[in-house]
Structure 1
Amino acid sequence: MKLVDQKIVEKKMPARIMRNNLFKGIFFIATCFGLVVLAVLLYRIFTQGIGYLNMDFLQNLPSRRPEQAGVKTALIGTIWLMGVIAPVSLFLGVGTALYLEEYAKKNKFNDFVKVNISNLAGVPSIVFGLLGLTVFARALALGNSVLTAGLTMSLLVLPVIIVASQEAIRAVPRELREASYGMGATKWQTIVRVVLPAAIPGILTGGILALSRAIGETAPLLVVGIPLFIAFTPTSIFDTFTVLPMQIYNWTSRPQEEFHAVAAAGILILLVLLLLMNSIAVIIRNKFQKRY
Structure 2
Amino acid sequence: MAAIVALMFALLMLTFSFPVNSLSLNYYDQTCPKAESAVTNAVKKAMMNDKTVPAALLRMHFHDCFIRGCDGSVLLKSVGNNTAEKDGPPNISLHAFYVIDNAKKAVEALCPGVVSCADILALAARDAVALSGGPNWSVPKGRKDGRISKASDTRQLPAPTFNISQLQQSFSQRGLSMEDLVALSGGHTLGFSHCSSFQNRIHNFNATLDIDPTMHPSFAASLRSVCPAHNKVKNAGATLDSSSTTFDNTYYKLLLQGKSIFSSDQALLTTPKTKRLVSSFGNSQKEFEKAFVKSMIKMSSITGGQEVRLDCKVVR
Higher normalized helix content (fraction of residues) = 1
TM normalised by structure 2 equals 0.24
TM normalised by structure 1 equals 0.26
